[in-house]
Amino acid sequence: MNATPSKNLPLWVQDRDEVIAQSTDVNWRYGSPPDYSLSKQGLARESKCHHLEGSLEAIAQNLIRTFEMEASFKADPSQWLSIVNDKFRTSSNGGPVYSAKDVSASGTYNLFIGDTPDYQASRETFESAGKLFRTAFPQGFLWEVLEVYSGPPNVIFKWRHWGTFSGPYKDYAPTGETIEIVGMSIARLTEDLKIISVEHYFDNSSFLAKLTSKGKQTTACPWKSWFRKLKLR
């Protein structure tokens, strides 16, 4: 596929800010549209790839970013432009298959990670999971397409998901390092580039292990110094 001017492409494969700007009468999960200005700054600084506008790589990247935005912030899946709502299915690492309704109810973190030693999806809600990772990565948990190996209708691509671990993860202390996941996905698309299904393959064990590597944060007892002085008398 040759590069195509964005204005000639469907809205859902254009820049997600344009999707947000044209999403009128939307039931936003938190009452207002999301602001990706901080993420855009991070992407400009830290992205490994800067794809040509209208290229297959840019189209795949825009489509998945739009899906992520809609899944995270549009409360009603029937308002998601990026998917074929009644047919959409997604899975991770060959695990359970989920519908758009499932994603909207539980959130992408819970469905894509599941229950592991370092993350218990069954104990998290949509809101608590989002807060957990926003706290751990306050400057954004960024995502980009690295390579695309085949064009529509079956788009196979390699991606990178990363952020600076500068906030606490649960009770675990931040390390300040950049933590990333690299994975592969297969997206099956319609002729007008909407997602019918998407399968993700990645290793989340090393990523989650890094979030707990520094151990739990400790809080000093406020009475410790008083007891020490009493003991020395």
User: Could you tell me if 110 and 132 are in contact, meaning their C-beta atoms sit under 8 angstroms apart?
Assistant: no
Domain ranges of the chain: 6-232
**Structure-token pair, residue 231:** 């003991």
Average pLDDT for residues 96-111, to the nearest whole number?
96
Half-sphere exposure of 75 (CA within 13 A, CB side): 10
Nearest Cα to 205, choosing from 226, 185, 179?
179
Confidence of residue 2 (pLDDT cuts 50, 70, 90): low
Check whether the bond before 138 is cis (ω within 30° of 0).
no
Cα separation, 65 vs 24, in Å, equals: 19
pLDDT surpasses 50 at 226 = no
162-196 residue pLDDT tens: 999 999 999 999 999 999 999 999 999 999 999 99
**pLDDT exceeds cutoff 90 at 233:** no
Domain 6-232 sits in CATH at 3.10.450.50
Give yes or no for residue 76 having a pLDDT over 70.
yes
